[in-house]
Amino acid sequence: MTTYNESIHYDKRMYLADILGSKVYATSLHQRNIITAHELSELHRGLDLVHAEWANDTFAISPGVDEDIHTANERRLGELIGKGIAGKLHTGRSRNDQVATDTRIWLRDTLDEIESALVDLLRAHLGRAEADLDAIMPGYTHLQRAQPIRWSHWLMSHTYYFTDDLTRLRQLRIRVNRCPLGSGALAGNPFAVDRAFLATELGFDSVIGNSLVGVADRDFVAETMMWGSLFMSHVSRWAEDLILYSTQEFGFVKLADAYSTGSSLMPQKKNPDSLELLRGKSGRVFGQMVGFMYTLKALPSTYNKDLQEDKEPLFDTTRTLLDSTRIATGVLSTLSINREKMLAALTMDMLATDLADYLVRKGVPFRETHHISGAAVSLAENEGLSGIDKLGLDKLRTLSPKFDEDVMQVFNFEHSVEMRSAVGGTARESVLRQIGEVKALLRD
Protein backbone atom coordinates (compact mmCIF):
# COMPACT_ATOMS: atom_id res chain seq x y z
CA MET A 1 0.00 0.00 0.00
CA THR A 2 2.90 2.33 0.75
CA THR A 3 4.32 1.83 -2.72
CA TYR A 4 0.88 2.12 -4.33
CA ASN A 5 0.24 5.38 -2.49
CA GLU A 6 3.56 7.08 -3.24
CA SER A 7 3.93 9.73 -5.94
CA ILE A 8 7.43 10.98 -5.11
CA HIS A 9 8.98 9.16 -8.06
CA TYR A 10 7.13 11.41 -10.50
CA ASP A 11 5.97 14.53 -8.61
CA LYS A 12 9.51 15.30 -7.44
CA ARG A 13 9.85 17.41 -10.56
CA MET A 14 7.71 20.01 -8.77
CA TYR A 15 10.32 20.53 -6.04
CA LEU A 16 10.96 24.16 -6.97
CA ALA A 17 7.27 25.06 -7.03
CA ASP A 18 6.83 23.40 -3.63
CA ILE A 19 9.77 25.30 -2.13
CA LEU A 20 8.62 28.64 -3.54
CA GLY A 21 5.12 28.11 -2.16
CA SER A 22 6.51 27.19 1.25
CA LYS A 23 8.76 30.26 1.43
CA VAL A 24 5.94 32.64 0.61
CA TYR A 25 3.53 30.84 2.94
CA ALA A 26 6.10 31.14 5.74
CA THR A 27 6.23 34.89 5.13
CA SER A 28 2.45 35.10 5.37
CA LEU A 29 2.56 33.25 8.71
CA HIS A 30 5.07 35.79 9.98
CA GLN A 31 2.73 38.60 8.88
CA ARG A 32 0.03 37.07 11.12
CA ASN A 33 2.51 36.71 14.03
CA ILE A 34 2.27 32.92 13.89
CA ILE A 35 6.05 32.61 13.59
CA THR A 36 8.86 34.96 14.66
CA ALA A 37 11.31 36.76 12.42
CA HIS A 38 14.01 34.29 13.50
CA GLU A 39 11.81 31.32 12.67
CA LEU A 40 10.99 32.84 9.29
CA SER A 41 14.69 33.32 8.59
CA GLU A 42 15.44 29.74 9.55
CA LEU A 43 12.63 28.39 7.40
CA HIS A 44 13.87 30.33 4.39
CA ARG A 45 17.47 29.23 5.04
CA GLY A 46 16.44 25.60 5.33
CA LEU A 47 14.26 25.72 2.25
CA ASP A 48 17.15 27.21 0.28
CA LEU A 49 19.33 24.31 1.41
CA VAL A 50 16.66 21.82 0.32
CA HIS A 51 16.46 23.60 -3.01
CA ALA A 52 20.22 23.35 -3.45
CA GLU A 53 20.13 19.60 -2.85
CA TRP A 54 17.48 19.08 -5.50
CA ALA A 55 19.30 21.37 -7.93
CA ASN A 56 22.60 19.55 -7.35
CA ASP A 57 20.94 16.14 -7.57
CA THR A 58 22.08 15.26 -4.04
CA PHE A 59 18.66 15.08 -2.39
CA ALA A 60 18.29 11.61 -0.86
CA ILE A 61 14.72 10.31 -1.03
CA SER A 62 13.76 8.24 2.00
CA PRO A 63 11.85 5.16 0.78
CA GLY A 64 8.61 4.50 2.63
CA VAL A 65 8.80 7.92 4.31
CA ASP A 66 8.79 10.44 1.48
CA GLU A 67 5.32 9.81 0.13
CA ASP A 68 5.39 12.80 -2.18
CA ILE A 69 7.39 15.93 -2.88
CA HIS A 70 5.66 17.78 -0.05
CA THR A 71 6.47 15.26 2.68
CA ALA A 72 9.98 14.82 1.27
CA ASN A 73 10.75 18.53 1.47
CA GLU A 74 9.17 18.86 4.92
CA ARG A 75 11.10 15.85 6.23
CA ARG A 76 14.41 17.17 4.93
CA LEU A 77 13.68 20.67 6.21
CA GLY A 78 13.21 19.28 9.71
CA GLU A 79 16.53 17.46 9.49
CA LEU A 80 18.32 20.64 8.43
CA ILE A 81 16.85 23.23 10.84
CA GLY A 82 15.13 21.11 13.48
CA LYS A 83 11.62 19.71 13.57
CA GLY A 84 10.44 22.34 16.04
CA ILE A 85 10.69 25.23 13.63
CA ALA A 86 10.06 23.14 10.52
CA GLY A 87 6.83 21.83 12.03
CA LYS A 88 5.38 25.34 12.15
CA LEU A 89 5.48 25.72 8.37
CA HIS A 90 2.39 23.61 7.88
CA THR A 91 0.24 25.74 10.19
CA GLY A 92 -3.14 26.27 8.55
CA ARG A 93 -1.93 24.68 5.34
CA SER A 94 -3.03 21.33 3.96
CA ARG A 95 -1.41 19.14 1.40
CA ASN A 96 -4.67 19.67 -0.48
CA ASP A 97 -4.05 23.34 -1.17
CA GLN A 98 -0.30 22.77 -1.28
CA VAL A 99 -0.42 20.26 -4.12
CA ALA A 100 -2.92 22.37 -6.05
CA THR A 101 -0.58 25.36 -5.69
CA ASP A 102 2.50 23.41 -6.73
CA THR A 103 0.76 21.95 -9.76
CA ARG A 104 -0.45 25.34 -10.95
CA ILE A 105 2.98 26.96 -10.51
CA TRP A 106 4.72 24.10 -12.28
CA LEU A 107 2.18 23.99 -15.09
CA ARG A 108 2.21 27.76 -15.57
CA ASP A 109 5.98 27.74 -16.05
CA THR A 110 5.77 24.70 -18.34
CA LEU A 111 3.11 26.38 -20.48
CA ASP A 112 5.48 29.33 -20.85
CA GLU A 113 8.09 26.92 -22.25
CA ILE A 114 5.53 25.43 -24.63
CA GLU A 115 4.45 28.91 -25.74
CA SER A 116 8.04 29.85 -26.48
CA ALA A 117 8.49 26.67 -28.53
CA LEU A 118 5.22 27.32 -30.37
CA VAL A 119 6.32 30.85 -31.23
CA ASP A 120 9.53 29.37 -32.66
CA LEU A 121 7.43 27.01 -34.79
CA LEU A 122 5.36 29.91 -36.07
CA ARG A 123 8.47 31.91 -36.90
CA ALA A 124 9.86 28.94 -38.78
CA HIS A 125 6.69 28.86 -40.88
CA LEU A 126 6.88 32.58 -41.55
CA GLY A 127 10.53 32.34 -42.54
CA ARG A 128 9.91 29.51 -44.96
CA ALA A 129 6.80 31.19 -46.36
CA GLU A 130 8.81 34.31 -47.19
CA ALA A 131 11.83 32.43 -48.54
CA ASP A 132 9.81 30.10 -50.79
CA LEU A 133 7.12 32.54 -51.89
CA ASP A 134 7.54 31.87 -55.61
CA ALA A 135 7.12 28.08 -55.41
CA ILE A 136 3.81 26.89 -56.93
CA MET A 137 2.31 23.47 -56.29
CA PRO A 138 -1.01 21.66 -56.60
CA GLY A 139 -3.59 22.30 -53.94
CA TYR A 140 -5.70 19.27 -53.04
CA THR A 141 -9.25 18.46 -52.05
CA HIS A 142 -10.19 14.83 -51.38
CA LEU A 143 -6.47 14.15 -52.01
CA GLN A 144 -7.12 14.98 -55.69
CA ARG A 145 -5.33 17.76 -57.52
CA ALA A 146 -7.62 20.76 -57.44
CA GLN A 147 -6.12 24.19 -58.17
CA PRO A 148 -2.64 25.72 -58.21
CA ILE A 149 -1.51 27.35 -54.96
CA ARG A 150 1.70 28.75 -53.61
CA TRP A 151 3.72 26.46 -51.34
CA SER A 152 3.77 29.44 -48.98
CA HIS A 153 -0.01 29.47 -49.00
CA TRP A 154 0.02 25.86 -47.78
CA LEU A 155 2.53 26.82 -45.09
CA MET A 156 0.37 29.71 -43.96
CA SER A 157 -2.72 27.50 -43.75
CA HIS A 158 -1.03 25.52 -40.99
CA THR A 159 0.39 28.70 -39.51
CA TYR A 160 -3.16 29.93 -38.97
CA TYR A 161 -4.07 26.75 -37.10
CA PHE A 162 -0.99 27.11 -34.91
CA THR A 163 -1.74 30.81 -34.40
CA ASP A 164 -5.16 29.91 -33.02
CA ASP A 165 -3.43 27.35 -30.81
CA LEU A 166 -1.17 30.11 -29.49
CA THR A 167 -4.16 32.33 -28.73
CA ARG A 168 -5.94 29.50 -26.92
CA LEU A 169 -2.77 28.66 -24.99
CA ARG A 170 -2.52 32.21 -23.71
CA GLN A 171 -6.16 32.12 -22.65
CA LEU A 172 -5.57 28.78 -20.91
CA ARG A 173 -2.64 30.17 -18.96
CA ILE A 174 -4.91 32.78 -17.37
CA ARG A 175 -7.15 30.05 -15.96
CA VAL A 176 -4.16 28.00 -14.81
CA ASN A 177 -2.59 30.97 -13.05
CA ARG A 178 -5.06 31.30 -10.16
CA CYS A 179 -3.93 30.89 -6.57
CA PRO A 180 -5.45 28.13 -4.39
CA LEU A 181 -3.01 28.58 -1.49
CA GLY A 182 -4.79 29.54 1.73
CA SER A 183 -7.76 27.26 1.04
CA GLY A 184 -6.66 24.82 3.75
CA ALA A 185 -7.92 21.26 3.56
CA LEU A 186 -11.25 22.44 2.13
CA ALA A 187 -12.90 24.98 4.46
CA GLY A 188 -10.38 27.83 4.32
CA ASN A 189 -7.49 29.14 6.41
CA PRO A 190 -8.14 29.75 10.14
CA PHE A 191 -5.28 32.23 10.60
CA ALA A 192 -6.48 34.92 8.20
CA VAL A 193 -3.43 34.72 5.95
CA ASP A 194 -3.39 37.35 3.24
CA ARG A 195 -4.28 35.33 0.14
CA ALA A 196 -3.84 38.32 -2.14
CA PHE A 197 -0.25 38.59 -0.85
CA LEU A 198 0.30 34.89 -1.45
CA ALA A 199 -1.00 35.20 -5.01
CA THR A 200 1.12 38.26 -5.82
CA GLU A 201 4.31 36.85 -4.36
CA LEU A 202 3.89 33.58 -6.23
CA GLY A 203 3.15 35.30 -9.54
CA PHE A 204 -0.52 34.35 -9.76
CA ASP A 205 -2.96 36.61 -11.58
CA SER A 206 -5.82 36.09 -9.14
CA VAL A 207 -7.09 34.19 -6.11
CA ILE A 208 -9.52 31.28 -6.35
CA GLY A 209 -12.52 32.65 -4.47
CA ASN A 210 -13.92 29.41 -3.09
CA SER A 211 -11.80 27.12 -0.91
CA LEU A 212 -13.68 23.98 -2.02
CA VAL A 213 -12.79 24.79 -5.60
CA GLY A 214 -9.27 25.74 -4.58
CA VAL A 215 -8.38 22.23 -3.40
CA ALA A 216 -10.51 20.13 -5.77
CA ASP A 217 -10.42 21.91 -9.12
CA ARG A 218 -8.50 20.09 -11.83
CA ASP A 219 -10.28 21.65 -14.76
CA PHE A 220 -7.04 23.45 -15.54
CA VAL A 221 -5.32 20.07 -15.93
CA ALA A 222 -8.10 18.73 -18.14
CA GLU A 223 -8.13 21.91 -20.22
CA THR A 224 -4.39 21.68 -20.73
CA MET A 225 -4.83 18.16 -22.05
CA MET A 226 -7.73 19.27 -24.25
CA TRP A 227 -5.61 22.09 -25.62
CA GLY A 228 -2.79 19.65 -26.23
CA SER A 229 -5.09 17.21 -28.03
CA LEU A 230 -6.31 19.88 -30.44
CA PHE A 231 -2.81 21.23 -30.98
CA MET A 232 -1.42 17.77 -31.66
CA SER A 233 -4.25 17.06 -34.10
CA HIS A 234 -3.01 20.10 -36.04
CA VAL A 235 0.57 18.85 -35.82
CA SER A 236 -0.57 15.42 -37.01
CA ARG A 237 -2.35 16.79 -40.08
CA TRP A 238 0.67 18.96 -40.88
CA ALA A 239 2.91 15.93 -40.54
CA GLU A 240 0.65 13.80 -42.73
CA ASP A 241 0.85 16.33 -45.57
CA LEU A 242 4.63 16.41 -45.34
CA ILE A 243 4.83 12.62 -45.22
CA LEU A 244 2.90 12.49 -48.49
CA TYR A 245 4.91 15.33 -50.04
CA SER A 246 8.17 13.57 -49.13
CA THR A 247 7.28 10.33 -50.97
CA GLN A 248 8.82 9.60 -54.34
CA GLU A 249 5.32 9.78 -55.82
CA PHE A 250 5.16 13.46 -54.86
CA GLY A 251 8.79 14.45 -54.34
CA PHE A 252 7.88 17.98 -53.25
CA VAL A 253 10.04 18.00 -50.11
CA LYS A 254 13.13 16.26 -48.79
CA LEU A 255 13.72 15.86 -45.08
CA ALA A 256 17.13 16.49 -43.58
CA ASP A 257 19.03 13.38 -42.52
CA ALA A 258 18.73 14.41 -38.87
CA TYR A 259 14.95 13.99 -39.08
CA SER A 260 14.74 10.78 -41.10
CA THR A 261 16.19 7.28 -40.85
CA GLY A 262 17.09 4.47 -43.18
CA SER A 263 15.47 1.07 -43.37
CA SER A 264 16.98 -1.85 -41.45
CA LEU A 265 16.59 -4.00 -44.57
CA MET A 266 16.25 -1.81 -47.66
CA PRO A 267 19.27 0.47 -48.20
CA GLN A 268 17.46 2.75 -50.65
CA LYS A 269 14.82 3.79 -48.10
CA LYS A 270 14.71 7.11 -46.26
CA ASN A 271 11.85 7.09 -43.79
CA PRO A 272 10.18 10.24 -42.36
CA ASP A 273 10.33 8.90 -38.80
CA SER A 274 10.16 12.34 -37.21
CA LEU A 275 6.87 13.09 -38.94
CA GLU A 276 5.45 9.65 -38.26
CA LEU A 277 6.30 10.01 -34.57
CA LEU A 278 4.59 13.39 -34.50
CA ARG A 279 1.53 11.85 -36.09
CA GLY A 280 1.62 8.93 -33.66
CA LYS A 281 2.15 10.96 -30.51
CA SER A 282 -1.02 12.91 -31.20
CA GLY A 283 -2.87 9.74 -30.24
CA ARG A 284 -0.81 9.47 -27.07
CA VAL A 285 -1.80 12.97 -25.97
CA PHE A 286 -5.45 12.39 -26.79
CA GLY A 287 -5.38 9.12 -24.83
CA GLN A 288 -3.97 10.83 -21.74
CA MET A 289 -6.76 13.39 -21.88
CA VAL A 290 -9.50 10.79 -22.23
CA GLY A 291 -8.07 8.72 -19.39
CA PHE A 292 -7.97 11.65 -17.00
CA MET A 293 -11.48 12.74 -17.93
CA TYR A 294 -12.71 9.30 -16.88
CA THR A 295 -10.93 9.77 -13.54
CA LEU A 296 -12.45 13.20 -13.06
CA LYS A 297 -16.00 12.73 -14.24
CA ALA A 298 -17.73 11.30 -11.13
CA LEU A 299 -15.68 12.46 -8.16
CA PRO A 300 -17.56 13.75 -5.14
CA SER A 301 -16.62 17.07 -3.54
CA THR A 302 -13.95 18.07 -2.69
CA TYR A 303 -10.49 16.53 -2.50
CA ASN A 304 -10.18 12.81 -3.20
CA LYS A 305 -7.05 10.75 -3.66
CA ASP A 306 -8.14 10.03 -7.23
CA LEU A 307 -6.86 13.52 -8.03
CA GLN A 308 -3.32 12.27 -7.58
CA GLU A 309 -3.86 10.64 -10.97
CA ASP A 310 -3.60 14.06 -12.63
CA LYS A 311 0.20 14.24 -12.41
CA GLU A 312 1.48 11.43 -14.62
CA PRO A 313 -0.79 12.16 -17.60
CA LEU A 314 -0.14 15.89 -17.21
CA PHE A 315 3.62 15.43 -17.05
CA ASP A 316 3.59 13.05 -20.00
CA THR A 317 1.35 15.33 -22.04
CA THR A 318 3.36 18.49 -21.49
CA ARG A 319 6.64 16.68 -22.17
CA THR A 320 5.22 15.31 -25.41
CA LEU A 321 3.87 18.73 -26.41
CA LEU A 322 7.18 20.47 -25.79
CA ASP A 323 9.25 17.83 -27.56
CA SER A 324 6.85 17.60 -30.50
CA THR A 325 6.81 21.35 -31.04
CA ARG A 326 10.58 21.50 -31.08
CA ILE A 327 10.84 18.52 -33.44
CA ALA A 328 8.29 20.07 -35.82
CA THR A 329 10.32 23.29 -35.86
CA GLY A 330 13.47 21.34 -36.65
CA VAL A 331 11.83 19.39 -39.46
CA LEU A 332 10.47 22.49 -41.16
CA SER A 333 13.61 24.56 -40.69
CA THR A 334 15.86 21.96 -42.30
CA LEU A 335 13.78 20.40 -45.08
CA SER A 336 14.33 21.36 -48.71
CA ILE A 337 11.69 21.76 -51.40
CA ASN A 338 11.83 20.64 -55.03
CA ARG A 339 10.25 23.44 -57.06
CA GLU A 340 10.63 21.49 -60.30
CA LYS A 341 8.68 18.52 -58.95
CA MET A 342 5.98 20.86 -57.69
CA LEU A 343 5.66 22.48 -61.11
CA ALA A 344 5.71 19.12 -62.87
CA ALA A 345 2.74 18.01 -60.77
CA LEU A 346 0.63 20.87 -62.11
CA THR A 347 -1.65 19.90 -65.00
CA MET A 348 -3.74 22.04 -67.31
CA ASP A 349 -7.01 20.46 -66.18
CA MET A 350 -6.39 22.23 -62.86
CA LEU A 351 -7.10 25.49 -64.75
CA ALA A 352 -10.63 24.40 -65.68
CA THR A 353 -12.08 26.73 -63.06
CA ASP A 354 -9.96 29.57 -64.44
CA LEU A 355 -11.46 28.86 -67.86
CA ALA A 356 -14.93 29.12 -66.37
CA ASP A 357 -13.96 32.35 -64.61
CA TYR A 358 -12.76 33.73 -67.95
CA LEU A 359 -16.23 33.31 -69.43
CA VAL A 360 -17.83 34.83 -66.32
CA ARG A 361 -15.82 37.98 -67.05
CA LYS A 362 -17.30 37.86 -70.56
CA GLY A 363 -20.80 37.98 -69.07
CA VAL A 364 -21.71 34.29 -69.10
CA PRO A 365 -23.50 32.97 -65.95
CA PHE A 366 -21.18 30.83 -63.83
CA ARG A 367 -23.42 27.74 -63.91
CA GLU A 368 -23.22 27.85 -67.69
CA THR A 369 -19.45 28.49 -67.71
CA HIS A 370 -18.96 25.54 -65.35
CA HIS A 371 -20.66 23.27 -67.89
CA ILE A 372 -18.67 24.74 -70.80
CA SER A 373 -15.36 24.32 -68.97
CA GLY A 374 -16.21 20.69 -68.17
CA ALA A 375 -17.03 20.12 -71.84
CA ALA A 376 -13.62 21.55 -72.75
CA VAL A 377 -11.88 19.06 -70.44
CA SER A 378 -13.87 16.17 -71.96
CA LEU A 379 -13.14 17.35 -75.50
CA ALA A 380 -9.39 17.47 -74.83
CA GLU A 381 -9.48 13.97 -73.32
CA ASN A 382 -11.51 12.55 -76.21
CA GLU A 383 -9.11 13.98 -78.75
CA GLY A 384 -6.07 12.64 -76.92
CA LEU A 385 -4.68 16.08 -76.15
CA SER A 386 -2.36 16.65 -73.21
CA GLY A 387 -4.47 19.50 -71.85
CA ILE A 388 -7.23 21.99 -72.49
CA ASP A 389 -4.62 24.54 -73.57
CA LYS A 390 -4.02 22.40 -76.67
CA LEU A 391 -7.59 22.73 -77.94
CA GLY A 392 -6.91 26.03 -79.68
CA LEU A 393 -9.25 28.95 -80.15
CA ASP A 394 -11.31 27.41 -82.94
CA LYS A 395 -12.32 24.33 -80.93
CA LEU A 396 -13.00 26.42 -77.83
CA ARG A 397 -15.34 28.60 -79.90
CA THR A 398 -17.37 25.52 -80.76
CA LEU A 399 -18.20 25.39 -77.07
CA SER A 400 -18.87 29.12 -76.68
CA PRO A 401 -18.60 32.11 -79.02
CA LYS A 402 -17.41 34.18 -76.04
CA PHE A 403 -13.91 32.71 -76.25
CA ASP A 404 -11.43 35.16 -77.75
CA GLU A 405 -7.68 35.30 -78.40
CA ASP A 406 -6.97 36.48 -74.84
CA VAL A 407 -8.19 33.10 -73.54
CA MET A 408 -4.67 31.74 -73.91
CA GLN A 409 -3.60 33.90 -70.94
CA VAL A 410 -5.70 31.61 -68.78
CA PHE A 411 -3.35 28.68 -69.34
CA ASN A 412 -0.64 29.96 -67.02
CA PHE A 413 -0.21 28.74 -63.47
CA GLU A 414 1.35 31.96 -62.19
CA HIS A 415 -1.57 33.87 -63.69
CA SER A 416 -3.98 31.52 -61.96
CA VAL A 417 -2.59 32.05 -58.47
CA GLU A 418 -2.27 35.80 -58.98
CA MET A 419 -5.94 36.07 -59.91
CA ARG A 420 -6.81 34.96 -56.37
CA SER A 421 -5.78 38.15 -54.62
CA ALA A 422 -8.77 38.56 -52.31
CA VAL A 423 -8.08 38.31 -48.60
CA GLY A 424 -7.12 34.74 -47.80
CA GLY A 425 -6.19 33.86 -51.38
CA THR A 426 -3.02 32.37 -52.83
CA ALA A 427 -1.77 35.41 -54.75
CA ARG A 428 1.58 36.84 -53.69
CA GLU A 429 -0.06 39.96 -52.26
CA SER A 430 -2.53 37.90 -50.26
CA VAL A 431 0.08 35.51 -48.85
CA LEU A 432 2.28 38.43 -47.82
CA ARG A 433 -0.75 39.91 -46.07
CA GLN A 434 -1.21 36.65 -44.15
CA ILE A 435 2.44 36.66 -43.15
CA GLY A 436 2.08 40.23 -41.92
CA GLU A 437 -0.94 39.37 -39.80
CA VAL A 438 0.82 36.56 -37.97
CA LYS A 439 3.95 38.68 -37.51
CA ALA A 440 1.81 41.38 -35.91
CA LEU A 441 0.27 38.86 -33.52
CA LEU A 442 3.71 37.63 -32.47
CA ARG A 443 4.86 41.21 -31.88
CA ASP A 444 1.80 41.83 -29.71
Which of 67, 63, 76 minimizes the C-alpha distance to 19?
Answer: 76
At residue 208, the pLDDT reads 98
Q: Is there a catalytic annotation at residue 421?
A: no
The predicted structure's pLDDT at residue 261: 83
Q: In this structure, what is the dihedral angle of CA atoms 224, 229, 233, 236, given to the nearest 10 degrees? A: 90
CA 23 to chain centre: 33
pLDDT at 270: 84
Task: Judge whether 142 counts as a catalytic residue.
Answer: yes
Average pLDDT rounded to a whole number, residues 215-219: 97
pLDDT at 332 over 70: yes
Rounded to whole angstroms, the Cα distance separating 116 from 138 reads 32
Q: Given this model, what pLDDT does residue 263 score?
A: 62
pLDDT in tens, 239-263: 999 999 999 999 999 999 999 986 6
Average pLDDT of span 176-205: 97
**Range 321-325 average pLDDT:** 98
**In the beta sheet, which residues pair with residue 179?**
207
Give residue 341's pLDDT band: very low, low, confident or very high (50, 70, 90): very high
From 263, 301, 378, 386, active-site residue? 263
The pLDDT, as a whole number, for residue 119 is 98
Residue 159 has pLDDT above 60, yes or no: yes
Q: How much of the chain, in percent, has pLDDT values that exceed 70? A: 98
| pLDDT score, position 2 | 86
Domains and CATH numbers, the chain: 2-91 (1.10.275.10), 96-191+204-344 (1.20.200.10), 348-411 (1.10.40.30)
Confidence category of residue 1, pLDDT binned at 50, 70, 90: confident
Task: Specify the range with the lowest mean pLDDT, choosing from 24-38, 388-402, 410-424.
Answer: 388-402
Indicate the pLDDT class of residue 386, thresholds 50, 70 and 90. confident
**Per the omega criterion (within 30 degrees of 0), is the bond before 261 cis?**
no
Annotate 222-235 with b (16+ C-beta within 10 A) or e (fewer): bbbbbbbbbbbbbb
pLDDT of residue 444: 78
pLDDT at 267 over 60: no
